[in-house]
């Protein structure tokens, strides 16, 4: 098998995360708290557990936040370097942009917003066994229509890259993790925007490069939308998705030691409660993510929602399937549902008014 210690990891974390706004107005998507850790930390722990130690982060939007938090990576047993794009270069441009930092012949590239627990060493094994130029992790999903499909031949060689289609010819989709032979990265045009999915992969195929798929049915979720974010966090808390950071601590809820949870509170469905959050008596919180320093007043019901840092949910309010932005205040007895997104700092007064984006 390709030696993981002789493999670089590159993680793309420069996107603006627009589908998760307003959570990503001030915080880049990979740094959002997911099961009480920045999402990226779960991926870094998996990379470390696989035996890879050199990691390069391709950053752009809010680039400084990553280095401030992870530093040189030594606390995690990793060596982390950062390459900043002044103007975002797209997924392919970002990979090309870290070329000078690479040390090894095998380069494992990750989208920084995918939650998965596939065996990374098995992907490296396929790459070596096939003597591939590029190996893509392909995951089999029950409904492939929302993703790019990648059919392969009997030997696992990739035949095509297809955009989203209503009638996909295969259930294998691009899982956003690739092993590149380093020279191939040098062929991506430098210093301009390049989409690896739309431009580089089709070109590698038409050039006759050896592009293989590593296909499995492992846990996989693109954390790009609020409903995926909330379910991904819940899956981590419950151990449905495995993270080395949560070994021995999975269950119905994960509560930071510094959070204050009053008596008679029901926490279930993989709810995560962050640092310094306060939950008043009689609340019921199901399958939700409560960020640091949020306050939930007595008797509130929260389901399948994200409550961002420093926000306040009033007594007996009911929040279902919503995103409450940083520092927002939702009055007592309000009812919010149906995918509503409340922008940071917005105040909704106490009056029990019903708001729904379904209307
Ligand atoms: P949306 O705006 O909601 O689509 O999210 P996004 O900006 O994160 O885009 P997308 O989900 O397609 O990106 C997949 C991964 O690539 C994410 O981890 C992004 O952070 C990363 N990414 C996307 N574009 C760039 C870029 O231009 N530069 C870098 N360094 N990373 C990028």
The residue whose CA is least distant from atom 1 of ligand 1 is 17
The residue whose CA is least distant from atom 29 of ligand 1 is 14
Residues 270 and 196 in one domain: no
Spacing, Cα 340 to ligand 1 middle (Å): 23
Residues 288 and 208 in one domain: no
Give 79's strand partners: 54
Dist CA 157 CA 257 (whole Å): 49
> Is the pLDDT at 266 greater than 50, yes or no?
yes
pLDDT digits (tens, 9 = 90+) for 146-160: 888 999 999 999 999
Residues 107 and 20 in one domain: yes
| Domain CATH number, residue 212 | 3.90.550.10
- Rounded mean pLDDT of the chain? 95
pLDDT digits (tens, 9 = 90+) for 110-165: 999 999 999 999 999 999 999 999 999 999 999 999 888 999 999 999 999 987 88
Edge-first strand listing for the sheet containing 106-111? 79-84, 54-59, 7-12, 106-111, 172-181, 134-140, 211-216
pLDDT digits (tens, 9 = 90+) for 314-346: 999 999 999 999 999 999 999 999 999 999 999
The residue whose CA is least distant from atom 18 of ligand 1 is 112
Return the ligand 1 atom nearest residue 28 CA: 20
Ligand 1 binding pocket mutation candidate from 85, 91, 163, 198 (most atoms within 8 A of CB): 91
Q: Is residue 59 part of a domain?
A: yes
pLDDT of residue 164: 83
Give the count of beta carbons closer than 10 Å to the beta carbon of residue 308.
27
Phi, psi for 164 (deg, rounded to 5): -50, 135
> Is the pLDDT at 358 greater than 70, yes or no?
no
Spacing, Cα 84 to ligand 1 middle (Å): 14
All residues at 6 or more sequence positions from 208 whose CB lies less than 8 Å from its CB, including other chains? none
Return the ligand 1 atom nearest residue 193 CA: 27
pLDDT of residue 149: 93
Residues 51 and 175 in one domain: yes
Residues 132 and 18 in one domain: yes
Q: Is residue 243 part of a domain?
A: no
Q: Are 150 and 170 within 8 A, CB to CB?
A: yes
Structural domains of the chain, count:
2
Residues 184 and 274 in one domain: no
Give 81's strand partners: 56
Instruction: Note the pTM of the prediction, 2 decimals.
Output: 0.95
Spacing, Cα 36 to ligand 1 middle (Å): 22
Phi, psi for 179 (deg, rounded to 5): -110, 120
Phi, psi for 126 (deg, rounded to 5): -60, -45
Nearest to residue 203, comparing CAs of 160, 252, 244?
Answer: 160
- Ligand 1, residues at Cβ distance < 6 Å: 12-19, 29, 58-60, 85, 88-91, 94, 111-113, 224
Q: Is residue 238 part of a domain?
A: no
Q: Are 340 and 320 within 8 A, CB to CB?
A: no
Please state the rounded mean pLDDT for residues 291-300.
Answer: 98
Ligand 1 binding pocket mutation candidate from 15, 32, 55, 84 (most atoms within 8 A of CB): 15
Edge-first strand listing for the sheet containing 312-313? 260-261, 278-279, 295-296, 312-313, 329-330, 347-348
Distances from the Cα of 45 to the Cα of 4, 52, 127, 150, angstroms: 14, 10, 22, 28
Spacing, Cα 18 to ligand 1 middle (Å): 9
Spacing, Cα 113 to ligand 1 middle (Å): 8
pLDDT digits (tens, 9 = 90+) for 15-31: 999 999 999 999 999 99
Dist CA 79 CA 193 (whole Å): 27
Q: How many CA atoms lie within 13 A of 31 on its CB side?
A: 23
The residue whose CA is least distant from atom 11 of ligand 1 is 224
pLDDT of residue 146: 87
> Is the pLDDT at 359 greater than 60, yes or no?
no
| Domain CATH number, residue 327 | 2.160.10.10
Nearest to residue 304, comparing CAs of 325, 291, 290?
Answer: 290
Please state the rounded mean pLDDT for residues 294-321.
Answer: 97
Q: Work out the pLDDT band at 3, boundaries 50, 70, 90.
A: confident
Please state the rounded mean pLDDT for residues 25-41.
Answer: 96
The residue whose CA is least distant from atom 13 of ligand 1 is 15
Ligand 1 binding pocket mutation candidate from 9, 10, 12 (most atoms within 8 A of CB): 12
pLDDT of residue 8: 97
Q: Is residue 311 part of a domain?
A: yes
> Is the pLDDT at 166 greater than 90, yes or no?
no
Nearest to residue 104, comparing CAs of 3, 236, 228, 215?
Answer: 3
pLDDT digits (tens, 9 = 90+) for 71-93: 999 999 999 999 999 999 999 99
Q: Are 56 and 10 within 8 A, CB to CB?
A: yes
Residue % of the chain over a pLDDT of 90: 92
Q: Is residue 347 part of a domain?
A: yes
Please state the rounded mean pLDDT for residues 187-191.
Answer: 92
Buried b (16+ CB within 10 A) or exposed e, 173-197: bbbbbbbbbeebbeebeeeeebebb
Return the ligand 1 atom nearest residue 59 CA: 30
Spacing, Cα 126 to ligand 1 middle (Å): 26
Q: Is residue 325 part of a domain?
A: yes
Alpha helices in the chain (DSSP H): 39-49, 63-70, 90-97, 120-129, 182-186, 201-206, 226-238
The residue whose CA is least distant from atom 22 of ligand 1 is 15
């Amino acid at each position: 098998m390709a030696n993981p210690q002789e493999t670089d990891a590159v993680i793309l974390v420069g996107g603006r995360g627009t589908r998760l706004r307003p959570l990503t107005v001030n915080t880049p998507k990979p740094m959002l708290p997911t099961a009480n850790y920045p999402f990226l930390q779960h991926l870094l722990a998996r990379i470390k557990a696989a035996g890879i130690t050199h990691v390069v982060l391709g950053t752009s939007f809010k680039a400084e936040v990553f280095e401030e938090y992870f530093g040189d990576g030594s606390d995690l047993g990793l060596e982390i370097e950062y390459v900043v794009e002044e103007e975002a270069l797209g997924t392919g441009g970002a990979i090309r942009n870290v070329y000078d930092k690479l040390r090894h012949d095998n380069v494992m590239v990750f989208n920084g917003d995918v939650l998965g627990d596939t065996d990374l060493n098995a992907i490296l094994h396929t790459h070596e066994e096939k003597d591939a130029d590029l190996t893509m992790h392909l995951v089999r999903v029950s409904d492939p229509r929302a993703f790019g499909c990648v059919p392969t031949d009997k030997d696992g060689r990739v035949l095509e890259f297809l955009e989203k289609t209503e009638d996909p010819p295969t259930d294998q989709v691009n899982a956003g993790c690739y092993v590149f032979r380093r020279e191939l990265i040098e062929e991506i045009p430098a210093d301009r925007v390049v989409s690896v999915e739309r431009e580089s992969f089709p070109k590698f195929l038409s050039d006759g490069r050896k592009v293989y798929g590593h296909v499995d049915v492992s846990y996989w979720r693109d954390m790009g939308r609020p409903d995926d974010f909330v379910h991904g966090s819940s899956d981590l808390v419950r151990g449905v998705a495995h993270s080395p950071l949560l070994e021995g601590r999975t269950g119905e809820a994960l509560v930071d030691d510094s959070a204050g949870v009053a008596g008679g509170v029901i926490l279930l469905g993989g709810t995560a409660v962050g640092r310094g959050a306060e939950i008043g008596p009689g609340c019921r919180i199901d399958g939700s993510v409560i960020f640091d320093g949020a306050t939930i007043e007595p008797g509130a019901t929260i389901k399948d929602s994200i409550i961002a840092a420093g926000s306040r949910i009033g007594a007996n309010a009911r929040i279902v399937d919503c995103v409450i932005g940083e520092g927002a205040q939702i009055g007592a007895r309000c009812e919010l549902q149906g995918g509503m997104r409340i922008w940071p700092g917005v105040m909704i007064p106490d009056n029990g008014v019903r708001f729904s984006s379904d209307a």
